[in-house]
Amino acid sequence: MQPSFLESRNNNRIAYVLNNGKLPCVVFFGGFKSDMTGTKAVTLEKYCIEEGQMFVRFDYTGHGQSSGEFKNGTIGQWKKDALAVINKINADKYIFAGSSMGAWISMLCAREMPGKIGGLVGIASAPDFTEKLIWEKLNVTQQKELQKNGVYYAPSCYGEEPYPIMLNLIEEARNHLLLDNNINLDIPVRLLHGTDDEDVPWEFSTRILQRISSRNAALTLIKGGNHRLSEPAQLNMLCEAVKTLCQP
């Protein structure tokens, strides 16, 4: 399906694909430097279509088919992109499903929409990754270089070219950190995380479980699962988690 586009306040074009159906509307939030054509997004879309469930996937600015440069993006900007798509759809009830960084952004969005979120699924959730997995992992020399040059080129885990980490991304993200404070979300939450995730340790999800205010929250650790969690059985677990939250 060809994407639709909406104009953001900073004159970027945000690409999204909407499939109409019954409520709640399932929204998929992609990960850092990912896009809406990934395996999890497309698999969940197919499942929702089969179930007659309303579903939307989208690209943040600087990602996929949206305009803008990746290096200029921030957590706050990508949250605004997500909210722009959600507000465009204007459904009465939503289920959020976020992968890696997308889980972080979905939690930030959910906090701004009390009463409209029926549940949230986090897949290899990576809140605060800019601070805990990038900034705090750099040595003093690397931190000084990043502060001096405004950019650090991080190696990719998937054989791709190194990608730029901008100082502005790190600094702006400090306005949105979650793990060191209480996460005030009183909605059903289901977390999925692989025990062999080398990008985002599964302890991130246990920290979410500890910090979140919801009493209806559960974590499933997937033995041998890596960060992508894109094997058929793992994708089925994602769809089942969404199915459970969609049920009245």
Peptide bond into 24 cis (omega under 30): yes
In terms of Cα–Cα distance, which of 5, 63, 6, 4 is closest to 30?
A: 63
Which sequence positions are flagged as catalytic? 100, 197, 227
Among 96, 40, 44, 64, smallest CA distance to 225 is for 40
Tokens at 218, concatenated: 């559960």
Give the pair of three-digit tokens for residue 47.
Answer: 């499942």
For 192, list phi and psi in degrees, rounded to 5. Answer: -120, 130
Spatial distance between the Cα atoms of 85 and 100, rounded to a whole number of angstroms: 19
How many Cβ atoms sit within 10 Å of the Cβ of residue 193? 26
